Amino acid sequence: MNYLSGFLPLSLANLTQISLLYVGNNLISGELDPRLFSNWNRLRFLELHNNNFTGMIPSEIGLLVNLVELALSSNHFHVLIPSSFGNLTELTMLFLHQNECSGTFPHSLLNCNLLVELLLFTNRLSGFVPQGLANLTSLRELHLSENNFSGPLPQVCQGAKVQLFTAAFNNFTGPIPKKLACTSLVRVRLHNNQLSGSLDRDFGVYPNLNYCKLSHNRLEGLLSRNLEQLKVAGNMIKGEIPEEFGKLNRLAVLDLSSNQLVGKIPKIGKLSSLEDLDLSENKLNGQIPGQLGECSKLHNLCLRKSYFNGSIPFQLGYLTLQGSLDLSQNLLTQQILPELAKFTMLEHLNVSHNMLSGSIPSLFGTMTGLTSIDFSYNDLEGPVPDSGFFHRASPAAFSNNKNLCGEVLGLKPCSNTSVEKETRKKNHNVPIIIVSASLSWLILSLALFILYALSRRAKRSRESKEAMVSEARNPLSVVNYDGKIVYEDIIEATESFDEKYCIGSGGSGRVYKAKLTLGPILAIKKLLCLDGEQMEKLRSFTNEIRALTEISHKNIVKFYGFCCHGPHKFLVYDYIERGSLADEACISDFGTAKILNPDSSNVTVLAGTLGYVAPELAYTVSAMEKCDVYSFGVVALEVMMGKHPAELVSVLNSCLDQKDVQLVLDPRIRTPADEETALEVASIVRHAVSCICVEPKSRPTMRWVSQALSEARTNV
């Protein structure tokens, strides 16, 4: 890749003997001059892809009758695809994807009998696709996705040996044509259309097919295929899951969710390659088969919203789940198995809306990878696991149970009886050995125990007092409203907030640099005086500030706590020198927008993070929770662009087409050649851009962004 820019010079037309012109992957712009193509009679390869060309595609390109490859993809060409392309009868590869071409499918392309690869995806083409494509017997790849095509799917396999066929995100209707059934197909993507009909009657047999995605259509019927990935979610597929699925030892992804499947899960324990299994939102019933524990590579298991009953099989503990385990909205009973605690890398655990009883196993506290949990709407009781993540979990995650307790907001504290009961449950299989001894030995042992207990109690008392003193002297203590010593240390370090220590200011106050006598250098954000109503709101954020102090990430400034003493109120952060994202600078104010009154003009401009701060903070409009969303969008764009988006932030919008996406990508990295990766990259950029809307209310929530990015990766 080079960085050539400017226009394509007309003097190139003098190269009458040229057979190959490759200027792809540059920054060349402007319209193509038709006179360029008047003397290139020997040209066989014309590669102009991934530039910034605009305007119409010159019909004079049709004069280059010896062309074998023509690549005009990833530019800004618009209007119609020239009918003169039908003259290029020697053409084997035509790449017009990721442009802004409109109009209908050029019927003249049916004259190009030697075409092997035809890529038209991500344009604005509409109308019917001609059925004559089936006569292009050399065709191996046909990509029509992300257009506005309508009508029936083309019959592409009458004489051809198409291997890759994509037509997703269009408006195709009717059944899948039986003449589509070419045994050569390897990958098929027809999702997000309006296709109907029966899979088992219309779809045919494809012995070489290893990827098939038909999700979000109107298909029904039964299905049995030899695949590596099968995604047919959101259709109307009925009947039972065929037993033959248990023999698909190459199957890695199986998504049959949101259909009308009934019966039991077949024996699929031999699916040694299976990584993702989603059977949720069907009418499946019976017990969850223990054979699932034999799927050794399974990372995600989703059986949500069906009619599974009985207990959770202990064999699931043999798995190495690392993504999600969702068994919610079923009829599961009995206890939650402690074997599931082996999933130390599991991120999402949901067993809500069942009839599970007993307690949440204490070993679940060792599942360090968890980012979300839900145990609500069961018959659970006893203490929740004693770990930081469970303490910080939302109260809704434990709601509507029998009698859960613990150090979680919304739950009552556990009594000694509850803890002892849990302890007895953990030890109920341990045999009790009764040892008889003489009365004298009993008295002696009792006396020694009392002496030992008294000495330990005294030692703990001393340690407790020392810890209290140490905590009072610790400038990094969490939420210390009465931290007089902390307050005095900060006052001394900043010389009563002298101007020479001020490193930044904003509508909510100023930021000071403080080097304490004992401790690291801190950034102290001194807030303006707050009235009584705002102080009441600050008190309600105590628990949230505690959670913020436990956030640990190398790119988020460490937040130590909030100090409120005397006339001053301030936030305590770790001090970070100025730097760029490439220098691993950190983002501050992460998650603290709610501490400020959303209806006031109190905002802050933080030293060291300019360029990542939401505009409403920079211009002192109002502080909102969407400030963090904005910062995420800027960082995500910087990763994709290879540099800070700078002034582009103010002009980008979430309605980017594929060409606009190409403009913002890092030019040092080659543009993805395959459609699936290109769509995924485009999705990341579009979602990042949606996060940097100037209007905060137009930005999505981080939960929505996370789900959207996950779905984008799953969809491709």
Annotated binding-site members for ATP: 526
Please give the DSSP secondary-structure letter assigned to residue 302.
E
Alpha helix (H) residue ranges in 355-438: 388-392, 416-426
Q: Which helix (H) or strand (E) holds 301?
A: strand 300-302
Give the CB-side neighbour count of residue 448, counting CA atoms within 13 A: 6
**For residues 542 and 479, what is the distance between their CA atoms, to the nearest angstrom?**
7
> CA of 272: how far to CAs of 34, 224, 340, 557, in Å?
57, 18, 20, 43
| Token pair in block for residue 251 | 């199957």
Q: What residues are designated binding site?
A: 526
| Token pair in block for residue 298 | 């399974």
Could you tell me the strand order of the sheet in which 403-405 lies? 357-358, 379-383, 403-405
Report the b/e string of 44-79 with b at 16+ CB within 10 A: bbbbbbbbbbeeebbbbbbbbeebbbbbbbbbbbbe
| Token pair in block for residue 331 | 């009829």
Q: What radius of gyration, in Å, describes the C-alpha atoms of the chain?
A: 33
Alpha helix (H) residue ranges in 429-531: 439-473, 484-493
CB 423 within 8 A of CB 398: no
| Token pair in block for residue 201 | 């009657």
Torsions phi, psi of 307, nearest 5?
-130, 35
512: nearest Cα among 443, 438, 563: 563
Output the DSSP codes for 183-208.
Answer: TT--EEE--SSEEEEEHHHHS---TT
Q: Would you tell me how many other CB atoms lie within 10 Å of the CB of residue 642?
A: 13
CB 337 within 8 A of CB 360: no
523: nearest Cα among 514, 531, 532: 514
Question: Across the strands, what pairs with 571?
Answer: 525, 562
CB 30 within 8 A of CB 8: yes
Torsions phi, psi of 162, nearest 5?
-65, 135
> CA of 274: how far to CAs of 153, 245, 329, 334, 388, in Å?
31, 11, 24, 28, 33
Could you tell me the strand order of the sheet in which 27-31 lies? 5-6, 27-31, 52-56, 76-79, 100-101
Please give the DSSP secondary-structure letter assigned to residue 528.
P
Residue reference for tokens 């019966």: 263
**For residues 406 and 389, what is the distance between their CA atoms, to the nearest angstrom?**
13
Torsions phi, psi of 555, nearest 5?
-105, 15
Q: Which helix (H) or strand (E) holds 565?
A: strand 559-565
Residue 37's identity, in one-letter code, is: F
End-to-end Cα distance, the chain: 27
**For residues 108 and 88, what is the distance between their CA atoms, to the nearest angstrom?**
10
Opening angle at CA 438, ends 437 and 443, nearest 5: 100
303: nearest Cα among 282, 275, 333, 272: 282
**For residues 144 and 714, what is the distance between their CA atoms, to the nearest angstrom?**
20
